[in-house]
Structures are given as C-alpha cells and as structure tokens.
C-alpha cells in the first residue's frame, strides 16, 4: 500500500538525517520540505525573523500537492517540522488514509545542544524556543526519542510502520501450528512461514491464518525473504521442521536473508550433537542458535508446552519473554521453561525426556498385558487404573484410561490397532547416549527394544505357532501388588533418566540443574506426573533419587510386590522386559559384591586385560598367568 | 654391509640395462665390465674372433681390482658375462663374502631374438651359440628369467639381495607379538615394527626378536621408512595398534613411504564406520585397505586366531595366503578365516562377535552368582560346570572352570578380584548398532549395562546398606535346571547376534554368509563352542536360528527350566539381567498379539503419530480424535 511518511519535529531533531536513511532503507524517494519554501520565506528566515502562519500556508499547500503527486507512483518520505495540528491538516488534506506521521521528539536541552554542535544551518538556534512554544504534540504519530541511535530509530520506524512481527515461526506442521496459535493467543505479533510445494503444500500459512480467529494479526508467508523481512531485528525465528537434514537445508536457505545478531531457535527433536555443530556453524556467521526441546504434543504446544532451551545465555534472554509466556505453568505458576545450559544440552535433556517417556509408555503397556492376562477387558483395566490415580497420577496414566475406554463399533478401539510400535529417533539416541556415556538407562533401552521386537510381527506370528507356552497357568496378581510393581519400575526409570542427564552434565561440563529440569517437567509435557512433582524437591539435595530417604522407604515397602509380580509373569510367560529389568537393575545396583570379578578374571585370562584386587586399594593392576 | 653385485649372463641378456636400473634404485655406482677390456681384446672381438681364456685373464683381474677398490667406499654393481666358474673365481678372489651374483637367464631363442632386434652392438649375434656352449650355470647366484619386465627383475633382485620380507607387522603389543610369532612359525619372512618412545618403548622389536628362536630371520625396526623399505612390493603391512585415532596417525605416517598398490591391514578392533572411511581415504591414495577382525586373545593370535577380513576382494586375495595360514583350523581343517565382504563388514562382524562374547561372559557370571547363592564355593561351582561340558562345551566355559579353581594363598583368586568390569568399545558399539539398525540384540545390551552398573561400586556399597533384601530365602535350583536356563539364554544370544549381522548385511547390502561366519567362529576365537559348530549347519538353511526345527524342539524342552530358575532368582533378588532378558525377549518374540497396540494408541493420542489397523492390511494410517 502506497504511503506518504511525514517526518516531523522541531529544527535540529534530525528529521533530514533520519528521513534520508529511511528512504534508503525502504528504497522510496526522499523530499526535504525546506527545499520547497518560496524565496520570500527563505529571505525572512535568513534575516532572523520567524515565519508566521500566513507565510507557511502556501508552502504547506505546495507540500500537500507534492505528496498527492508522489502517491500516483508510490510511497515517499517528506520531512517538515509541521509543529501545529493545523499545518498537518493542510499536509494531510485529501490523503488522510495514506499518510503516516513520525514525530522525532526530544527535550529542549537535548535539541539545543545538538543545534549548537552543528555548522551551517540556516535557522539560528535562538529561534528554537519559539518552536517548542509552537509545538502541538501530534496524537496519532509514531513518536520516537531522538536520543536513540539513527539505526535504532530506523528499526523502530520500520517496525511501527510496517507492523513488523516480533517473532517468526517456520514450519506449520502439527507442532508449529499449535505454537503459532499459542503465541498469538498470548498477544505476540508473529510471522508464519510454510514452504510452497506445488500441489502438495500450497497456501498453508494463509489458509491456517484464516482458520483461526486469534491469528487475525499474524502475517502468513510462503516466500522466505518476505517472511524474514517481516520480522523485527534482531529477528527471532523458530524452526519447527523435521529433525535431520531438513534443519540444515532450512538454515542454509535462511542465511542469505538474515542479519548479524539474529536468533534461530530449533524447536524440533534434533540430535544434541548436531545442535552443537549447528551452533558452531552459525556462530561463525554471527547468528545465534538456540536448540530447544519442546514437549507436550499437539495439545501441549497449543495450551502450554514444557520448553528446554539451550545455547548462548545472552541470546536466550532475548527469546525468554516469548518462550516463558507460551510455556505451561507449574504448580507455583512459574513457567515450565528454563535455560538448560550451553551447546546442545537442551536437546539432550529433551532426548532423555523422550527416553523416560518411552519407558513409562512401555510400563503401561506391560501393565495392560498383565491385566489382560487376568481376563479383564479394556474397560475393566481402565477401572483398575482409575483407582491408581491417587498414588500414580500422570498424564500418560490418564490418556491410557481414555484410550482403553474408547470404543470402535462393538469392540474397543485398542483391540483394532496393529501392534507394531513406531519410533522417531529420540529413544534410539537416548539408548546410544546411555551406551556412550556409561550410564545404564536400561529401562529406556528395554522400551526401545520392545518397540523393535514388536516390529517383527510376521516372525512373532510364526514363532507363536512353533513354541509351546504356559498361558494356561493361573495368574494371581492383586491390583495393589501390580500398582507397587509399576511404581517401583517408574522410580528406577526416573533414577536412570536423571542419572543419564547428570553423567552428561559432568562429561560435557554443562553444569545442569536437575531439580529445575524436573520442575519444568511438572507441566506441559508428556511425562508430567505426581512423581515428577515429588522429584523437584528430592533433586534439590541429591543427584541420585535412590539416595533419598523417602524413596528408600517407599522402595523397601513396595519391592516385595515387584518380586512377586515379576516372578509370576515369568512363570506365566508374559513378556515384561521393562518391569523385569527394573528389578534386575535394582538388584545389581544394590549388590555390594557382584559377579563382575569373574568377568574381570575372564578378560585377564584370554586378553591379558588385567584386574584390580579388593585387598589393594591403590590403582595397581594385576595380571595372572592362568 | 658393503657388497659387489655382479650381474652376469650371455650377451644380449640385458645385463647393462638391468645393472644401470639397479644402481639407480639402490643409489650405488654402476660399472660395465666391457668398458675395462684392453684394446687388444676389443680389436679381436671387432674382427669377429672370440676371446680365449688367456685374453680374458688380465681383464678379469682388472675387474677384481676394481671391485676391491670400490669396496673401500661402499657397494657397487658390475656387469660382466662371467660365463665360466673359473672366470667368476678370479672376479671373486679375496672378496668371497662380499659378492652377490645375479644371473640373467634365458633360452637361446629368447636371447637370439633380442639381439637381432638390437642395433649397433659390437658383438655379432653369430657368436651367441659359443657363449651358450661356454656357459656354466652358477650355483649360488640369484637366477632371474629375462622374460620378466625390467621393473619386475629389479624388484626380484632387490628382494633376494636384501632379503626383503613378505609381510610387515606394525605394533608389537600383546596381539601384534603373538601374530608375529605365528607368521614366523609358519615360515613367513616378516618385518616387525614398534615405535621408539624414549625411556618408555625402546628397542621393542629387536628385544622381541632376540627373545624368540622362531624370529631369527625376522627383521626388527623402529624406524618407519626402513621398515617399509624392507618389505616386498606390493607391501602387505598389518597394523596392530590401538583402535581409534592411533590408526589414522599411523596411516598418515606410513603414507609417504608407501607405493601404489600396497596393502594395509587393520587388525585392531576398529569401528566399522571408521574402517569404511579409511578404506575410501586410502583408495584415493591408491592404497588398498583391509579391515579385519582378529579374535583369540594372546593365545589364539599365537596358535591360530579366527580372522574376519573385509574390503576389496582383489586385495584380499594377495593377503589370503598369510591370513589363512596363520588362522585356526576348523574341524574339517579349513582355515577359520574367510573373506567377509566389502567395506567395514569384517569389523562389524568382529564387533558382533565381541558383543556375543560380552553376553556369554555375563551369562557365566550370572550362573556363578546363582551357584554362589546356593552356598557353593568356587571349586564346587567348577565341579558343577565340569558336568556341563557334554552339553555346553565352549572356550569360555573351560576358562571359567580354570579361573574358579585358581587359588591365591588360602582363598580362591576370584574372590580377591575387584568387581568392576572394564570394556573396550566393541560391546558399546554393538549396542549402538543394535539401536541404529532396529535389531534388538538385547542380551548384548544387558551385558554391557551390567558392566557399567558394576562400575558404580561405591553407590552399590551404599545402596546395599539402605535397602532391605530377601537373601535369606532358600534357593532351590538343580544343576540341570540351571544348565537348561544357561543354554536357553545362549541360544537367544546367538539368535540375536546373527540377526544383527543379517540386518546389517541387508541394510548395507554386504551380502554376508552367516554360515561361513559361524564356521570361522568354531576355532581360534573366544566364542568357539559346540553350539557354534551346530549353527554352521543351521545357518545354511535359515538366517533365523529360532526357525530351525532342532532348536525349536530344544527350546520347548528347556524353557520350563528357565522359567523356574529366573522366577526363583527374582524372588531371591539375585541380579540376572541377561538370563532374565533372554526369557522376556523370547516371550515378546513369540507373542502373536503384543501390547504395542497400546503404545501406538498413546503415540497417536498425544502426538498424532497415527496407527495401522488389524482389519485393514493396506498401508493406510489412521488418526483418532481421542
């Protein structure tokens, strides 16, 4: 839309300088009003006499005509003091909807000192006072403090004039869309981008904007340069695209359009090692990079997810107001978003979050198997799980109850779903991290492998025919015993998950705060639970939740149930890798003298790998000629 | 050592050409004997008359004096027909130990045709016949067929003169040393290199040579260039250095000294991805690279290891005679060495070998825990294991028995060994591969994690105090039940290991032969066993040993024992992660309808990940608004 931008203000406020810069920045013509004074006016001013309103009238009409003429071709910048409303009314005449007013404002002394510092200006400084007397503050103008630097003034004018967005979001998938609505609902002015793929993804951003009332002031794009230009500098652009190569492609597409100091935020489930690489790469280009975990699924992203950002702290502070505002709130109304640490620590923490999630889901699946084996239908199983809410409340327990109750014609929907579980990489990476860091998160690994095994559907059907089974045994397991077993395994899972984060924190020198991480996992995310709320306090005093007295007491109470349930399931041949491993891990972890001495002996026997002795606590290594 | 190299043979055999090339190659002076004839001799020959022995006497004495004089400064090459022994005796006089004789030999027609093809030679070809009549074949000379190319002749002379080695071995650690002795014992002439590190590693190769009779003809080095130059081209150099960066450093140190077509063999436990990278890197430098697994520990390497080479098949064929000769032999006396496949497949297979080994060791450690819990001392446990040899014979079982019987003053040595088990990377990588390839080798992962958990010694001691335990329960497990449980778990471990290899073979398109791999694992390596011998045949007809009828029958027989043992150990709180996981994996693997349907429902609920339905076998994915 074509516009006349009038830059106004008293003499010496910097109108000409700013006007010229703005015309360059916007690539539109610049006109200095003073160049259009009739000779009589110039003569009068040169003789030191101020102009009166009659002197000005013809001049202002000339400028109004200039503006009208320019509008035939496009926009332009016109600078003119225009101190009184009636002057502005003349300038505005007939083009009221096509003018923008920028008032460069400062105190008398600020302006006075500026003018005295200038040379060769044709208006003597003693006339300044009369200008301030004449000045009627414009009401609908964009008012800008002249103390700002010219660069800042231009950015400010641009953002006000063009209604630049505060935040950009790239990638309108399930999560991206929900985050856009969340940002808009919280009053942020956003730009939204989705790529254009002929016949596949067309007008995604525009259509999405039109579907939702709250997006009425959001700017939709499918051209990357326009998207980037629509965002205030330093730009804050969140990428919500598929983890992997796509992130690198998008970054390289964005780079030519970005400016020094802009901030990219990767909100996908990227590998933490990749995040570190991208951080370093973008640093060399003077672009900040924030890798952030976002958990909560579609609904969480919309209503308030848990957010785990990492990277440069200074850059984080600039995106903090956005992320903290859209995040879920914990029980003390604090945002479920906290600066995690440097490099890829945010994505590492998100990866472990997902690992814990894998195991929590697998534990519920095993509980489902066991209760099914006792002859209960999904609704009856949901009834049992309802009674667990007091002790084991969690988001996953609740959605499991919903799922079990869902009907599909005359059966339960769950019975119709194919039992091949997918995975998207984070459980895999968490298992790899556990192997690489020497921190045994065995339940995450078990849960991952259980999904893999589920994928061998054809082999399973075949094997089921070949092998006899003991399914005819009676299974005698009380709800209380099963709940205890489930809770026991969950404690082990959470111990292992936080231990993995702690090991990574030590190894990479990230200095992570486990209690804060537990806190931002109490809301918004998939693994929020009453247990997680408990752990916020537990982790304030220890990095190992198994050393907490309350938890020790709880385990001592519930462990015998776990022993009974697991041993019965083994006899009954119900697959319970995760529940079973929770016991075995715990039994290893609490064994003072393990059988690893035999393994050390074997390694020394065939490979001369040496061993240490229990009766020599120096670091000496022994080798035996066996 | 200074030497005179006499190149002899009839006229036209190429003495001058070869002599000059050799002098250039060895950087020593060249003398053509014909240049030292007195004028009378030249005149006589020019007139077409052959020289008689009197004519030759003075000339030969001159050459003998030339040789003696040259020896004061160094070596040289002298060419001279020297057809009769008595001529050679004159040449040899007083320098008998410092001469080397190279006879360029060919048939009359070969030489005759050569001479007719030449121009401007001062001896007419019709005299050739008299030369052949005069020729007395020298006995101690290096005789070389003139039909070879000059380059080949030079290489041959060099290798004979300098006694070039057939094979080089770099890195004299435990495994490197054993392989050297093995190669030497098999009659191969080898060069051996170990780096020189002042005060730490000095004269390693020389000292090692002096310690062992069989190394009397081996060449020891601590200077890299000399080591490389001492090996026949194309050189075959086996690296036995620590896996990791050291391999790359050694390769870069070697490169300037290598020649096109040389072959490097990495016999360490390198990561298979790295082997692929190195293969590509060296290919660009026209050097062949063979990554090979070597299993057997110190003793195996000495007496015959199992060898798993991969890379370029043509290059492998050149090292095949060495590797197959030093390898262990299977029950049919075939070498336990086979070309595995392209790229890093050899190291992949070795990695899985080690993974299987990890689990086999852990299973024995768990058996040891269980038998200890029944109150048996190590000798009594060894007695039990002795009785298992009929059914479960293996290298690891045998060394475990040895270990358990070993005393240390008035206790068993095993009781004195600190229970913190180390690891060197391959178990770790196998677990990572299992995660990356979606092939659940859960027993390898369990065994790795058990080692990791053993490392938490201080935490374990502390936890042991905090948590109550059920160790006062009676454990009632028969030797037969335990043996069955152990065998059951071993079958699962082997199933998973071969399945992992099979998945990798499909994924990387390596086309691996599982039965051949089992066969080379029946001798020399750490996991050789009677079970492995059985699997050679089983894997000829299937990639999944769990689909073999005999194994199905065996499992149906022994599985109830495994159920009883594992469930009792769970109640008794004995940590048996690996045994327990073997059951749980199997129970998952044989479950027709698993609880993964619930996991798919959960994923769709919170992440809209969609699911498939059992009543729709198209590839359609469904999403429910839960």
| pLDDT tens sequence across B348-366 | 999 999 999 999 999 999 9
Bond before A286 cis per omega within 30 degrees: no
Per-residue pLDDT at A123 exceeds 60: no
What's the pLDDT score for residue B470? Answer: 65
User: How remote is the C-alpha of B64 from its chain's centroid?
Assistant: 49
Give residue A162's pLDDT band: very low, low, confident or very high (50, 70, 90): confident
Minimal-distance CA residue of chain A relative to B397: A602
Q: Count chain A–chain B contacts defined by CB atoms under 8 A.
A: 383
Beta bridge partners of B528: none
**What mean pLDDT is predicted for residues B526-542?**
97
Mean pLDDT of chain B: 93
Nearest to A262 by CA among A292, A284, A291, A289: A289
Distance in angstroms (rounded) separating the CA atoms of residues B528 and A624: 23
**What mean pLDDT is predicted for residues B570-589?**
96
pTM confidence score: 0.81
What's the pLDDT score for residue A179? Answer: 97
| pLDDT tens sequence across B49-80 | 778 899 999 999 999 999 999 999 889 999 99
Give residue A124's pLDDT band: very low, low, confident or very high (50, 70, 90): low
Interface with chain A: mutation pick from B421, B524, B556, highest number of A CBs within 10 Å: B421
Distance in angstroms (rounded) separating the CA atoms of residues A152 and A156: 6
* More confident call, B122 vs A289: A289
Would you name the residues of A annotated as active-site residues? Answer: 350, 357
Contact B444, B356 (CB under 8 A): yes
Distance in angstroms (rounded) separating the CA atoms of residues A414 and B110: 88
Nearest neighbour of A609 by CB, restricted to B422, B566, B581: B422
Contact B437, B507 (CB under 8 A): yes
B432: closest CA of chain A, how far (Å)? 5
| pLDDT tens sequence across A547-579 | 999 999 999 999 999 999 999 999 999 999 999
| pLDDT tens sequence across A368-401 | 999 999 999 999 999 999 999 999 999 999 999 9
Exposed/middle/buried for A120, CB within 10 Å: 0-12, 13-18, 19+? exposed
Could you tell me the maximum CA-CA distance found in chain A, to the nearest angstrom? 115
Q: Which residues on chain A are in Cβ contact (under 8 Å) with B437?
A: none
Per-residue pLDDT at B122 exceeds 60: no
B298 has a chain A CB within 8 A of its CB: yes
The answer for B 142-161 residues in CB contact with A (under 8 A) is none
Mean pLDDT of chain A: 93
Interface with chain B: mutation pick from A503, A591, A610, highest number of B CBs within 10 Å: A591
B464 has a chain A CB within 8 A of its CB: yes
Distance in angstroms (rounded) separating the CA atoms of residues A336 and A306: 5
Return phi, psi of residue A312, to 5°.
-80, 125
What's the pLDDT score for residue B468? Answer: 77
The number of C-alpha atoms within 13 Å of A460 and in the hemisphere containing its C-beta is: 23
Give residue A310's pLDDT band: very low, low, confident or very high (50, 70, 90): very high
**What mean pLDDT is predicted for residues B171-189?**
95
Contact B120, B102 (CB under 8 A): no
| pLDDT tens sequence across B158-168 | 878 877 899 99
A448 has a chain B CB within 8 A of its CB: yes
Minimal-distance CA residue of chain B relative to A407: B626
| pLDDT tens sequence across B487-499 | 999 999 999 999 9
What's the pLDDT score for residue A120? Answer: 66
A418 has a chain B CB within 8 A of its CB: yes
Q: What percent of chain B has pLDDT over 70?
A: 98
| CA gyration radius, chain B | 34
Q: Which residues on chain B are in Cβ contact (under 8 Å) with A421?
A: 596, 599-600, 603
Distance in angstroms (rounded) separating the CA atoms of residues B156 and B233: 10
Contact B167, B190 (CB under 8 A): yes
**What mean pLDDT is predicted for residues B130-150?**
89
What's the pLDDT score for residue A297? Answer: 86
| pLDDT tens sequence across A423-461 | 878 899 999 999 999 999 999 999 999 999 999 999 999
Exposed/middle/buried for A151, CB within 10 Å: 0-12, 13-18, 19+? exposed
A425 has a chain B CB within 8 A of its CB: no
B412: closest CA of chain A, how far (Å)? 11
The sign of the dihedral angle between the CA atoms of B544, B547, B551, B554 is positive
For A524, residues 6+ apart whose C-beta sits below 8 A from its C-beta are A295, A296, A300, A304, A305, A306, A307, A327, A328, A336
**What mean pLDDT is predicted for residues A281-300?**
94
A471: closest CA of chain B, how far (Å)? 11
A605 has a chain B CB within 8 A of its CB: yes
Give residue A615's pLDDT band: very low, low, confident or very high (50, 70, 90): very high
Minimal-distance CA residue of chain B relative to A546: B463
Contact A311, A282 (CB under 8 A): no
Average the pLDDT over each of B29-43, B172-186, B439-453, B467-481 and give the range with the smallest value: B467-481
B446 has a chain A CB within 8 A of its CB: yes
Minimal-distance CA residue of chain B relative to A589: B460
Give residue B267's pLDDT band: very low, low, confident or very high (50, 70, 90): very high
The answer for A 202-261 residues in CB contact with B (under 8 A) is none
DSSP per residue, B64-90: HHHHHHHHHH--EEEE----SHHHHHH
Other C-beta atoms lying within 10 Å of the C-beta of residue A592: 12
What's the pLDDT score for residue B113? Answer: 83
Whether ipTM tops 0.90, in short, is: no
Distance in angstroms (rounded) separating the CA atoms of residues B359 and B342: 27
Per-residue pLDDT at A131 exceeds 90: no
Exposed/middle/buried for A254, CB within 10 Å: 0-12, 13-18, 19+? buried
What are the distances in angstroms from CA A327 to CA A300, A302, A425, A521? 9, 9, 24, 11
Distance in angstroms (rounded) separating the CA atoms of residues B397 and B385: 7
Minimal-distance CA residue of chain A relative to B620: A418
Per-residue pLDDT at B528 exceeds 60: yes
Interface with chain A: mutation pick from B302, B459, B599, highest number of A CBs within 10 Å: B599
**What mean pLDDT is predicted for residues A611-624?**
93
Nearest neighbour of B422 by CB, restricted to A366, A439, A603: A603
Nearest neighbour of B413 by CB, restricted to A460, A466, A624: A624
Per-residue pLDDT at B1 exceeds 70: no
Would you name the residues of B annotated as active-site residues? Answer: 350, 357
């Amino acid at each position: 839309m074509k516009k006349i931008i009038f830059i106004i203000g008293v003499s010496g406020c910097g109108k000409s300088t700013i006007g010229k810069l703005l015309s360059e920045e916007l690539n539109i013509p610049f006109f200095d009003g003073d160049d259009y004074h009739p000779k009589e006016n110039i003569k009068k001013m040169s003789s030191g006499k101020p102009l009166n309103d009659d002197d000005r009238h013809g001049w202002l009409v000339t400028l109004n005509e200039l503006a009208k003429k320019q509008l035939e071709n496009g926009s332009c910048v016109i600078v003119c003091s225009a101190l009184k409303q009636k002057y502005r009314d003349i300038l505005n005449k007939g083009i009221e909807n096509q003018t923008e007013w920028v008032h460069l404002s400062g105190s008398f002394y600020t302006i006075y000192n500026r003018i005295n510092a200038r040379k060769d200006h044709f208006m003597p400084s003693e006339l300044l006072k009369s200008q301030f007397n004449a000045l009627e503050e414009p009401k609908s103008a964009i008012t800008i403090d002249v103390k700002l630097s010219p660069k800042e003034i231009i950015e400010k004018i641009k953002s006000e004039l063009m209604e630049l967005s505060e935040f950009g979001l790239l990638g309108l998938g399930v999560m991206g869309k929900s985050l856009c609505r969340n940002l808009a609902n919280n009053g942020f002015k956003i730009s939204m981008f989705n790529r254009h793929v002929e016949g596949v993804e067309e007008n995604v951003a525009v259509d999405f904007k039109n579907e939702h009332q709250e997006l009425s002031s959001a700017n939709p794009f499918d051209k990357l340069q326009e998207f980037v230009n629509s965002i205030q500098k330093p730009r804050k652009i969140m990428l919500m695209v598929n983890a992997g190569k796509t992130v690198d492609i998008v970054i390289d597409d964005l780079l030519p359009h970005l400016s020094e100091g802009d901030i990219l935020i990767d909100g996908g489930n990227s590998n933490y090692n990749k995040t570190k690489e991208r951080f370093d790469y973008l640093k060399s280009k003077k672009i900040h990079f924030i890798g952030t975990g976002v958990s909560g699924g579609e609904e969480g992203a919309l209503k308030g997810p848990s957010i785990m950002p990492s990277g440069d702290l200074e850059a984080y502070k600039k995106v903090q107001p956005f992320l903290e505002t859209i995040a879920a709130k914990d029980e003390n109304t604090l945002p479920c978003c906290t600066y995690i640490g440097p490099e890829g620590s945010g994505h590492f923490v998100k990866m472990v979050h997902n690992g814990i999630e894998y195991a929590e889901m697998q534990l519920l699946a095993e509980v489902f198997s066991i209760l099914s084996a006792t002859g209960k239908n999904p609704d009856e199983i949901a009834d049992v799980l309802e009674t667990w809410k007091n002790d084991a409340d969690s988001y996953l327990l609740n959605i499991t109850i919903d799922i079990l109750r869902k009907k599909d014609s005359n059966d339960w929907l769950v019975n119709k779903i194919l039992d091949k579980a997918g995975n998207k990489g984070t459980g895999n990476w968490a298992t790899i991290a556990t192997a690489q860091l020497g921190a045994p998160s065995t339940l995450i690994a078990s849960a991952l492998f259980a999904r893999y095994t589920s994928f061998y559907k054809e082999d399973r059907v075949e094997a089921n025919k070949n092998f006899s089974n003991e399914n005819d045994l009676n299974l005698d397991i009380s709800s209380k015993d099963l709940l205890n077993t489930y809770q026991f395994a969950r404690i082990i899972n959470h111990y292992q998950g936080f231990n993995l984060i702690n090991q990574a924190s030590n190894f990479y020198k990230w200095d992570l705060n486990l209690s804060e991480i537990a806190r931002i996992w109490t809301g918004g995310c998939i693994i929020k639970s009453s247990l997680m709320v408990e752990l916020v306090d537990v982790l304030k005093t220890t990095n190992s939740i198994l050393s907490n007295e309350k938890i020790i007491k709880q385990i001592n109470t519930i462990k015998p149930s776990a022993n009974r349930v697991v041993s019965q399931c083994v006899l009954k041949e119900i697959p319970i890798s995760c529940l079973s491993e929770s016991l075995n891990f715990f039994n290893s972890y609490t064994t003072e003298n393990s059988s690893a001495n035999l393994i050390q002996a074997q390694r020394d026997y065939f490979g001369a790998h040496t061993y240490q002795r229990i009766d020599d606590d120096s670091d000496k290594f022994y080798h035996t000629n066996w």
